[in-house]
Structure 1
Amino acid sequence: MLYRVEGLVIRSTDYGEGNKIITLLTPTYGKQGIIVRGAKKLKSRYGSLAQLFTYGDYSYYRAGSLGTLNSGEIIESFRELREGLEGPAYAAYAAELTDRAINDDEAAAYLFHQLKACQIALAGGKDPQIVLRVYEMKVASSAGYAPMLEECVSCGRPEGPFRFSAVAGGALCPQCRHRDPSALELEETVWKLMRVFSALDLRRLGNITVRDSSKRQLQLVLRKWLDTHLNLNLKSRNFLDQWEKYGDLLGERVKRPEPGAETEAGEGTV
């Protein structure tokens, strides 16, 4: 049967001497595995369609678990995400996280649009640490593991100050902190950002500057949350950890645009 879909390449692996197998994230059929014959050859007609992060229109035949590419057209190559070290490091993490967090054929329209927005934001020079924190919350939510942030997960009390417990499921009020002695005490700014990020559509993310201390706490919280509830051992994260040190990039960082674009997370420094 012939299928035609728009998709983002979230995995690309060699297959045989001249072929590749790509995994597409599609809004209609979830993840789809497709063989792209001759993709490794220098003059391949469809080699560019098999490159990681590519957004394209794909037509393929599928009779079993894998499809075979019939034709295709690139909509956006996202070439910037394959250059240097920073772009590939963050984009590869987003792609692998997506690939590992959802099942094959699982409905993924929402996550498809969020991942595309993530790649657009990274390619456009927005702060990759903030982009990834927002996207991690989208992945957790899509997998059914969104943290409770507005009230105590144990008793429902809306008053704080809260501490964050990945084990308990989110916020713990002062009366319930004993349920997790290791619960994290967070800056109020971090609570605010997490609540905004939880509700924010990545397609509406503007330019926002966040203090380094808040970035470190956001990363720590999301790492604990994903490790507790998804328990994924990602190769791309291990590489990213060598590139970052809990919020601080190793070496010189690419200069980011000055804040100015309005975002649901606010403007200026947070």
Structure 2
Amino acid sequence: MIYQQKGVMIRQTNYSESSRIITILTEEGGQVPLMVRGFNKPNSPFIVLRQGIKEFLFTYTRFKGMGTLNEVDEVQPFKKVNADFDIYSHASYVMELVIRALEEDVLHDSFYRLLIKSLKLMEEGSQPAGVVAFCAIKMLPYYGGELNVTECAVCGSKNNRNFFNYSFKYHSVICSACMNDETGARSVPVTNRVLYLAGYMKHVAVTNVDSIKISEENAGSLLKFVELIYDEYTGVYFKSRKLLQSY
């Protein structure tokens, strides 16, 4: 049977001197393994697959198990993402956030929408670190974590202007009025701006986000805060994060 689906290549491995097996994440959120014959040849019709992170229209034949790729056409080339090392590194982080949460035989179309939205945001000039933080916040529940930043764990206040600390003891924010040596144990200082952004990104619908225009400082602080949450609640460490920290 012949299929035609939008998708993003998420994995690849050499099969022979000239061919590779790739896995694509489809727009329906499924993972499809495909044999790509001639992938490694200089004049391969699939050379576009070797040119960075892109959204493609894949035409392939598949009955059971692995399919065979017949044609591939660019849908969104993400030229800016692939041309800038810093943006590309952040885009790779987003890719890893999505890919590592995938499950075999489970469709996650929301993952695909989040991935494409994140890449579009970077392509259109949104702060890369802010986009990674946005994606990480949306993916956190799939790694077993939860983000509580809108209500003081002690008194229940929802006045964001008084939030300056996140407590790993209470798993939530603590307002300035409730902060003391006891409640502040295992807490970290976080600006109320960062906490507001984190709460907003948690609740906003992916389809309603057209840009992430925040300062580089706030974006960096937000991402560091979200990474602390991942470290504490998920135990998952991403290779792309290490790459960003290396330069």
| TM range, smaller chain | 0.7 to 0.9
Query: Do the aligned partners of residues 216 and 6 (structure 1) sit closer, same or farther apart at CA in structure 2, a change above 3 Å counting?
Result: closer
Matched residue type, 1:79: K
Aligned residue pairs total: 240
Q: Does 2:240 match 1:236?
A: yes
Contact kept? 1:165, 1:171, Cα under 8 Å: yes
Q: CA deviation at 1:171?
A: 2.8
1:40 is aligned to 40
Q: CA deviation at 1:55?
A: 0.6
Q: Does 2:64 match 1:63?
A: yes
2: distance between equivalents of 1:103 and 1:70? Answer: 26
Contact kept? 2:129, 2:220, Cα under 8 Å: no
Q: CA deviation at 1:225?
A: 1.4
Q: Does 2:207 match 1:223?
A: no
Where does the alignment leave 5 or more consecutive residues of structure 1 unmatched?
Answer: 244-270
Query: Do the aligned partners of residues 144 and 30 (structure 1) sit closer, same or farther apart at CA in structure 2, a change above 3 Å counting?
Result: farther
Q: Does 2:133 match 1:133?
A: yes
2: distance between equivalents of 1:38 and 1:180? Answer: 60
Query: Do the aligned partners of residues 231 and 181 (structure 1) sit closer, same or farther apart at CA in structure 2, a change above 3 Å counting?
Result: same
1:102-181 equivalence runs, <5 A = 102-143=102-143, 145-152=145-152, 157-159=156-158, 161-162=162-163, 163-166=165-168, 168-172=170-174, 174=178, 178=182, 181=185
2: distance between equivalents of 1:24 and 1:177? Answer: 51
Contact kept? 1:149, 1:170, Cα under 8 Å: yes
2:188 is aligned to 184
1:82 is aligned to 82
Q: CA deviation at 1:62?
A: 4.9
Q: CA deviation at 1:179?
A: 6.7
1:255 is aligned to none
User: TM-score, normalising length from structure 1?
Assistant: 0.76
2: distance between equivalents of 1:125 and 1:90? Answer: 13
Moved over 6 A (4+): none
2: distance between equivalents of 1:30 and 1:176? Answer: 49
CA RMSD of aligned residues (A): 2.8
Query: Do the aligned partners of residues 235 and 176 (structure 1) sit closer, same or farther apart at CA in structure 2, a change above 3 Å counting?
Result: same
Q: CA deviation at 1:136?
A: 1.1
Matched residue type, 1:97: L
1:86-101 equivalence runs, <5 A = 86-101=86-101
Instruction: Kindly provide the CA deviation profile for residues 194-235 of structure 1, in whole angstroms up to 9, marking residues without a partner as x.
Output: 1111123445232523262x3343122111112233333322
Instruction: Kindly provide the CA deviation profile for residues 44-82 of structure 1, in whole angstroms up to 9, marking residues without a partner as x.
Output: 112314554221122331522x43323332211223322
2: distance between equivalents of 1:158 and 1:57? Answer: 49
2: distance between equivalents of 1:157 and 1:95? Answer: 36
Secondary structure of the 2:189 match is coil
User: TM-score, normalising length from structure 2?
Assistant: 0.82
Q: CA deviation at 1:240?
A: 1.0
1: distance between equivalents of 2:93 and 2:110? Answer: 19
Secondary structure of the 1:69 match is strand
Query: Do the aligned partners of residues 232 and 20 (structure 1) sit closer, same or farther apart at CA in structure 2, a change above 3 Å counting?
Result: farther
Secondary structure of the 2:22 match is strand
1:246 is aligned to none
Among all aligned residue pairs of Structure 1 and Structure 2, give the percentage whose two residues are the same amino acid.
22
